[in-house]
């Protein structure tokens, strides 16, 4: 059990809360698409439940692979950074080889789960892995790493929609774009903690490139884009009162997190990064899914 606990700590399993509600929203967008296409629920409960479980497994396996690979690749930097020296590899809790093998196994399970869903999900699974694993390299050569992380998490809604329908559509892509800028915005806030360390190590980030003050301004712009995209999604899918309430609460929480952090005061950065965004994601997902289910 202690080994399982160590791996759960390695991948920060609790952080799954960021992307999972959006993935499930994408899934139920797919369910709604099938209803509209046929005029009635054409799928059996078994198919519905099986697809739902596979989407959850894909989310868990993909995210686990991404986090483990990030820890493996950054182990030397983590050992030098006082904030991250307690992580599993530099602390000697897990070996680098253990983490690498864990990454390989999670990647294989992700591709197998995608194969179980449908052909297009399986064919696109290597592309998804390329993005989510490739993100870990980006901080070494571009300050746009935050957008790449956003892209990695933004694959979840469209991927879940594809799992249900097997086709692309504008609504889940719009939701994915909202996730991209949302994640990029709050990752910039999180990266403020390591601005000095990243400069010393020659690593790239928006705070390093622009400085803390301008980085926060860009984060606000990204979250303004997110809000615009979410509102546009509601208009396109003719969202009802529940979607509207979820959108309003989500945007309010985005605004709230920007009141918690200043470039010269990072004491509440964890509250802004994890707690506020975690709640925002859950709140939006719950209201959006209720809206879709009640149609």
pLDDT reported for residue 40: 52
pLDDT digits (tens, 9 = 90+) for 62-106: 999 999 999 999 999 999 999 999 999 999 999 999 999 999 999
| C-alpha span between 272 and 266 (Å, rounded) | 10
pLDDT reported for residue 174: 97
| C-alpha span between 21 and 283 (Å, rounded) | 9
pLDDT reported for residue 35: 72
pLDDT reported for residue 65: 96
pLDDT reported for residue 132: 96
pLDDT reported for residue 125: 96
3-state secondary structure of 262: strand
pLDDT reported for residue 268: 84
Q: Are 205 and 281 in contact (CB under 8 A)?
A: no
Q: Are 203 and 169 in contact (CB under 8 A)?
A: no
pLDDT reported for residue 291: 96
pLDDT reported for residue 265: 81
pLDDT reported for residue 259: 92
pLDDT digits (tens, 9 = 90+) for 25-64: 999 999 888 776 655 545 666 778 889 999 999 999 999 9
pLDDT reported for residue 229: 98
Q: For residue 134, which of 156, 107, 114 has the smallest C-alpha distance?
A: 107
> Which CATH number does 2-293 carry?
1.10.357.140
| C-alpha span between 199 and 197 (Å, rounded) | 5
Confidence label for 235 from pLDDT (cuts 50, 70 and 90): very high
pLDDT digits (tens, 9 = 90+) for 152-206: 999 999 999 999 998 999 999 999 999 999 999 999 999 999 999 999 999 999 9
Of the listed ranges 51-65, 121-135, 218-232, 256-270, the least confidently predicted one is 256-270
Confidence label for 12 from pLDDT (cuts 50, 70 and 90): confident
pLDDT reported for residue 1: 62
Alpha carbon distances (Å) from 291 to 28, 45, 67, 238, 241: 10, 20, 32, 10, 7
pLDDT reported for residue 273: 75
């Amino acid at each position: 059990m202690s080994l399982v606990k160590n791996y759960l700590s390695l991948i920060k399993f609790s952080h799954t809360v960021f992307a999972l509600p959006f993935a499930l929203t994408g899934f139920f967008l797919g369910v709604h698409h099938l209803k509209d296409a046929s005029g009635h629920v054409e799928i059996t409960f078994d198919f519905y439940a099986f697809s739902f479980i596979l989407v959850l497994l894909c989310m868990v396996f993909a995210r686990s692979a991404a986090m483990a690979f990030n820890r493996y690749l950054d182990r030397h930097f983590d050992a030098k950074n006082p904030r991250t020296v307690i992580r599993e590899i530099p602390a000697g809790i897990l070996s680098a080889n253990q983490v690498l093998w864990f990454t390989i196994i999670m990647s294989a399970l992700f591709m197998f789960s995608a194969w179980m869903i449908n052909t297009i999900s399986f064919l696109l699974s290597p592309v998804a892995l390329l993005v989510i694993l490739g993100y870990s390299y980006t901080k070494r050569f571009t300050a746009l790493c935050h957008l790449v992380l956003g892209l990695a998490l933004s694959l979840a809604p469209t991927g879940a929609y594809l799992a249900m329908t097997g086709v692309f559509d504008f609504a889940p892509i719009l939701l994915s774009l909202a996730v991209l800028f949302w994640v990029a915005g709050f990752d910039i806030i999180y990266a403020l903690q390591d601005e000095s360390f990243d400069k010393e190590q020659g690593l790239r980030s928006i705070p390093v490139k622009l400085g803390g003050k301008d980085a926060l301004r860009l984060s606000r712009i990204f979250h303004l884009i997110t809000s615009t995209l979410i509102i546009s999604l509601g208009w396109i899918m003719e969202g009802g009162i529940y979607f509207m309430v979820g959108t309003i609460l989500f945007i309010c929480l985005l605004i709230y997190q920007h009141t918690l952090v200043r470039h010269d005061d990072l004491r509440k950065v964890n509250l802004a990064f994890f707690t506020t965004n975690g709640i925002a994601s859950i709140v939006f997902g719950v209201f959006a899914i209720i809206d879709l289910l009640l149609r």
